[in-house]
């Protein structure tokens, strides 16, 4: 059996972390509390009731969940943040539901994946929060979440991201990260990020711990447990019959968000999971490569934590569609046009909840719904990982490049990129096509990143390999509870 998450205890380092948390007044939330934040200690809830969503206070760790009240300040917890995408936008018969990531601290769900990496390392003593720096290699938001959680926990961080990521990301990072490293290239230059990690490892050795989202099963586990539970809660609240829960669509990214689909599949065995990527970098669809503009979804490799056995469909999305729809959803002419096709004011204001990759995920969900000819009662779930506010500088750039967005542009984009989104660049996977996706991992992970031949084979051939993960959340929770008890603040 492979040790997918290191929970071996280093007593000496753990004791230092306990002391640090006691001095700084830090209580750590458990996975169970992230699923059900109503169980948050009262004194934390009281503190949150006057605190901003992004404030640098450790109580905000308890806002790492899908149920924050949708306000910038003082919110506590309500129902899962989700929306139903109007059919006037999707053009599908099936219903498309989406979790909304905007209401996480930092404005993105990635803060959850980073916390899931950091918390077990802290409570086991595998990361020394006093003397080591936490390194967050990322295509953007993961390092924002990692730097944010690091500062809440009173430890030093290094954020690594490609130099072409949006200015908003760099600006905000300057206020929280100890150190920022910009790597060459854009979104899909993940290899350059890995190279930088190796370089840091060689230079700085034991003074750093690298939390690599692309191979950390904690990332998988957070989405499986917390994102998966949030979707199931919505489906149950809406009384969706199990047979009508038909699909889940997400970009492959680090393989984290995609893992929420595994939870749905464990519950609704028949659902189809679509893994999406940019058409400009069609790694899964065509073993392809290239740069693209869907910020956050990476590519040119298959993440180690992507469970290819559960992937049913590959959908490649044209980044031009994403950029055009992002403009449609944010430019005044676009909003006026969409009012004209019947969106009410709530639906219009919800359009600010889609970041560029959220638009991409929506298009993947549309393709899935059309590919399987889903009907009115059927439901596909997807995720709006972050919101439009993360990319406002892109609007200015697009206006400069293409001229102002006009009512005619709005009509074209609505008709072509949304309503006429087709089932082109979609591939349904049989057993051996899934194996092809899995096999692509070899070149990145075994040849370059030190994974073993035995383990890559276990991922495919050992039926217990993926099954051991869900139970690990409870084990980590036991350790977090013991740690909190020793810290002595609850």
Ligand X SMILES: Cc1ncc(COP(=O)(O)O)c(C=O)c1O
Q: Name the residue with tokens 């690091």.
A: 150
| DSSP category for residue 279 | T
- Which of the ranges 84-92, 191-199, 256-264, 465-473 carries the binding residues for ligand X, by CB under 6 A? 256-264
Binding string, residues 70-109; x marks residues near ligand X by CB under 6 A: --------------------------------------x-
For ligand X, which is the closer residue by CB, 125 or 296? 296
Q: Which 206-225 positions form the footprint of ligand X (CB under 6 A)?
A: none
**Shortest gap between Cβ of 139 and ligand X (angstroms)?**
6
**Shortest gap between Cβ of 262 and ligand X (angstroms)?**
13
* Four-CA torsion 259, 154, 141, 334, nearest 10 degrees: 110
**Shortest gap between Cβ of 26 and ligand X (angstroms)?**
25
Binding string, residues 134-173; x marks residues near ligand X by CB under 6 A: -----xxxx-------------------------------
For ligand X, which is the closer residue by CB, 258 or 374? 258
* Interface residue with ligand X, options 17, 156, 225, 257 (CB under 6 A): 257
Name which of 379, 415, 421 is nearest 85 in CA terms.
379
Name which of 247, 261, 245 is nearest 369 in CA terms.
247
For ligand X, which is the closer residue by CB, 76 or 190? 190
Measured at CB, which residue is nearest to ligand X? 253
Ranges of H-type helices in 153-274: 167-176, 190-204, 217-222, 228-237, 259-267
What tokens appear for 384 in the block? Answer: 């709006």
Number of residues lying near ligand X (CB under 6 A): 20
| Helices 110-124 & 141-152 angle (0-180, nearest 10) | 40
Name which of 212, 206, 216, 192 is nearest 133 in CA terms.
206
Task: By CB under 6 A, tell whether 386 contacts ligand X.
Answer: yes
For ligand X, which is the closer residue by CB, 225 or 385? 385
Pairs from 466-470 (Cβ < 8 Å, separation ≥ 24): 466/262, 466/307, 466/309, 468/1, 468/4, 469/4, 469/217, 469/220, 469/221, 469/224, 470/221, 470/224, 470/225, 470/263, 470/266
**Shortest gap between Cβ of 96 and ligand X (angstroms)?**
17
Q: Name the residue with tokens 């972390």.
A: 17
Do residues 136 and 108 touch, judged by C-beta distance below 8 A?
no
For the chain, give me the number of helices (H) and strands (E)? Answer: 21, 11
**Shortest gap between Cβ of 451 and ligand X (angstroms)?**
19
For ligand X, which is the closer residue by CB, 75 or 255? 255
For ligand X, which is the closer residue by CB, 44 or 161? 161
Q: How many CB atoms lie within 10 A of CB 46?
A: 12
For ligand X, which is the closer residue by CB, 141 or 244? 141
* Interface residue with ligand X, options 355, 382, 434, 441 (CB under 6 A): 355
For ligand X, which is the closer residue by CB, 220 or 483? 220
**List of residues contacting ligand X (CB under 6 A):** 108, 110, 139-142, 251, 253-258, 295-297, 355, 357, 385-386
């Amino acid at each position: 059996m492979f040790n997918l998450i290191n929970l071996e205890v280093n007593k000496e380092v753990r004791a230092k972390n306990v002391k640090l948390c006691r001095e700084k007044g830090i209580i750590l939330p458990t996975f169970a509390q992230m699923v059900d934040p109503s169980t948050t200690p009262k004194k934390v809830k009281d503190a949150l009731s006057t605190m901003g969503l992004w404030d640098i206070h450790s109580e905000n760790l308890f806002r790492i969940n899908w149920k924050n009240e949708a306000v910038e300040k003082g919110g506590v917890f309500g129902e899962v943040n989700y929306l139903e995408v109007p059919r006037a936008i999707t053009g599908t018969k099936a219903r498309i539901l989406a979790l909304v990531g905007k209401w996480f601290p930092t404005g993105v769900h990635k803060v959850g994946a980073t916390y899931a990496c950091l918390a077990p390392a802290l409570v086991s003593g595998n990361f020394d929060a006093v003397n080591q720096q936490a390194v967050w290699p990322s295509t953007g938001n993961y390092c924002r979440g990692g730097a944010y959680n690091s500062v809440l926990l009173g430890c030093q961080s290094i954020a690594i991201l490609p130099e072409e990521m949006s200015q908003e990301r760099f600006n905000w990072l300057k206020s929280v990260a100890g150190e920022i490293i910009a790597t060459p290239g854009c979104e899909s230059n993940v290899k350059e990020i890995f190279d930088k990690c190796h370089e840091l490892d060689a230079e700085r050795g034991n003074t750093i711990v690298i939390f690599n989202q692309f191979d950390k099963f904690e990332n998988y586990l957070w989405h499986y447990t917390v994102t998966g539970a949030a979707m199931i809660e919505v489906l149950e609240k809406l009384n969706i019959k199990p047979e009508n829960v038909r699909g889940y669509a997400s970009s492959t990214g680090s393989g984290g968000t995609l893992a929420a689909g595994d939870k749905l599949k464990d519950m609704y065995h028949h659902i189809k999971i679509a893994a999406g990527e940019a058409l400009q970098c069609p790694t899964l669809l065509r073993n392809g490569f290239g740069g693209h503009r869907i910020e956050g979804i990476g590519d040119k490799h298959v993440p180690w934590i992507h469970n290819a056995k559960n992937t049913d469909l590959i959908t490649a999305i044209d980044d031009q569609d994403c950029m055009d729809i992002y403009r449609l959803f944010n430019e005044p002419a676009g909003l006026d046009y969409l009012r004209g096709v019947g969106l009410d004011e709530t639906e219009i204001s919800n359009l600010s909840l889609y970041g560029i990759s959220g638009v991409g995920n929506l298009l993947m969900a549309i393709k899935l719904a059309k590919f399987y000819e889903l009907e009115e009662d059927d439901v596909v779930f997807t995720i709006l990982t972050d919101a439009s506010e993360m990319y406002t500088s892109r609007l200015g750039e697009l206006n400069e490049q293409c001229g102002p967005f006009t009512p005619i542009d709005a009509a074209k984009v609505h008709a072509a990129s949304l309503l006429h989104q087709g089932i082109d660049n979609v591939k349904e996977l049989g057993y051996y096509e899934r194996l092809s996706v899995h096999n692509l991992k070899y070149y990145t992970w075994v040849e370059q990143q030190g994974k073993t031949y035995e383990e890559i084979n276990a991922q495919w051939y050992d039926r217990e390999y993926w099954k051991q993960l869900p139970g690990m959340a409870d084990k980590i929770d036991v350790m977090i509870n013991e740690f909190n008890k020793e810290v002595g603040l609850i």
